[in-house]
């Protein structure tokens, strides 16, 4: 949501190309993790940015940002040991952030698992989406259920946490950008 907000507010100098520079990435990282009380060190953000900027042009695309999220935040490599705060290295900071983010997503999941069976039904998932994304249309909700979670909104399927968490994080950002594009059709095309 931090990327969507910065993009919507015009704080991305190359937002029309769906790209950001290192300063914007640093701001984005700090905005994205402010709710955790985590301050991302500028040096660490620069190192992460450089490792993500595969073509070394001084910009990363929004897609590269999402790929970074999947690789370093969403897909835990192993169960990290609890870390002392503050972390002293980039790897420790990323591990701490990943662990904390997963715990927050787990809290959301558990809060909406009304029957406490460790599975979200389609109805429970719809409730999550409506609560988190207050202004979602029925079309947006069906989009998320079908495309993000590969569930039939009219069926009796269930979703376990390990399938919920990665898609929830990624598709929340995608939905936000999709809504922004629909609301600002003049900015829809991307110049190259």
Q: Are 179 and 140 in contact (CB under 8 A)?
A: yes
Beta bridge partners of 158: 121
- Domain residue limits at 155: 113-185
Domain annotation covers residue 151: yes
Q: Of 90-94, 171-175, 178-182, which one has max mean pLDDT?
A: 90-94
23 and 95 belong to one structural domain? yes
Is residue 108 domain-resident? no
The model's confidence at residue 187, banded by pLDDT at 50, 70 and 90, is: very low
Based on the fold, state whether residues 78 and 134 are members of the same structural domain: no
Total-model pTM? 0.46
- CATH code: domain of residue 135: 1.10.238
Query: What pLDDT score was predicted for residue 22?
Result: 93
Say how many C-beta atoms besides its own lie within 10 A of residue 9's C-beta: 9
Q: What is the pLDDT of residue 88?
A: 59
Position 179 pLDDT exceeds 70: no
Q: Any long-range contacts for 70-73 (C-beta under 8 Å, 24+ apart)?
A: 70/166, 70/170, 72/48, 72/98, 73/97, 73/98, 73/101, 73/169
* Cα three-residue angle 46-65-136, rounded to 5 degrees: 135
If asked whether residues 80 and 119 sit together in one domain, one would say: no
């Amino acid at each position: 949501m931090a990327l969507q907000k910065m993009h919507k507010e015009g704080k991305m100098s190359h937002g029309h190309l769906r790209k950001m520079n290192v300063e914007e990435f640093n701001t984005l990282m700090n905005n994205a993790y402010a709710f955790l009380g985590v301050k991302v060190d500028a040096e660490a953000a620069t190192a992460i940015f450089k490792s993500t900027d595969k073509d070394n042009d001084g910009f990363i695309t929004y897609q590269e940002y999402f790929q970074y999220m999947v690789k370093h935040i969403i897909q835990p490599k192993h169960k990290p040991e609890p870390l002392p705060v503050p972390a002293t290295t980039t790897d420790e900071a990323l591990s701490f952030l990943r662990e904390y983010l997963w715990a927050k997503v787990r809290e959301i999941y558990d809060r909406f698992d009304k029957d406490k069976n460790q599975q979200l039904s389609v109805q429970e998932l719809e409730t999550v989406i409506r609560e988190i994304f207050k202004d979602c249309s029925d079309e947006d909700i069906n989009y998320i259920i079908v495309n993000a979670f590969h569930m039939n909104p009219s069926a009796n399927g269930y979703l376990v946490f390990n399938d919920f968490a990665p898609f929830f994080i990624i598709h929340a950002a995608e939905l936000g950008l999709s809504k922004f594009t629909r609301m600002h059709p003049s900015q829809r095309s991307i110049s190259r």
